[in-house]
Amino acid sequence: MLLAIDTSAGTSVAVVDRDGGVLSEVIETDTMRHAEVVGSLIAEAMRLSGVEVAALSGVVAGMGPGPFTGLRVGIAAAKAFAFGAGKPLVPVVSHDAVAFERYAGGHTGPLLVVTDARRRERYWTAYSGADEAGLPVRLDGPGLGKPDELPHRDIPRFDAEAVSAGRLGMLAELRFAAGLPFERDEPLYLRSPDVTLSAGPKRVSA
């Protein structure tokens, strides 16, 4: 069983089991309240699932792409929970969960997943299809661009408003069962944060 956390769009937390499916999932769609709600959503997801922390085999973190501030909240929460529980961290690309859900829902062939990157930009990832296990096969990306400059205009596009932690967790379960490697533990911000560190005090001239 896995605890899955994603804050690349809204905030989503779920507990999943490879055989039992999604045991619980709670979502906050407000994209400005990640830090306020992630702790309570983790507690609620665990409570609703009836799963004890000791029964978890790992913690899944949605690695983006996503805006810097929101994305790092979820990753930090996942790392902190994993460390405290003594469980491994499982990094998964957030767009893969969206594609996984679309293919599970009946979509076939190429797919372009798009999410809001703010600053009048969009994150995108292109997929060629799903493999025999139903896992999405990445064709290109993740990338960042202006809405009218996104690539792969010849393939169907899906604009996602949220990322399901339930799908994120189930994707991780299936990847593990198939013996596939997981992503590197590197957040996909794709651009610099809005706030930068000061270079030091400015010199004042008389």
- The pLDDT tens digits for 117-164 are 998 999 999 999 999 999 999 999 999 999 999 999 999 999 999 999
Which pLDDT does position 200 carry in this prediction? 55
129 torsion bin: left (phi>0), alpha (psi -120 to 50), beta (else): left
Rounded CA-CA distance 196/176 in Å is 38
Q: What are the structural domains, with CATH classification, of the chain?
A: 2-177 (3.30.420.40)
Rounded CA-CA distance 160/56 in Å is 29
* CB of 111 closer than 8 Å to CB of 158: yes
* CB of 60 closer than 8 Å to CB of 5: yes
The pTM of this model reads: 0.91
* Chain segment 20-65, per-residue pLDDT in tens: 999 999 999 887 888 889 999 999 999 999 999 999 999 999 999 9
* CB of 22 closer than 8 Å to CB of 173: no
Residues 6+ apart with CB under 8 A from 30: 10, 11, 37
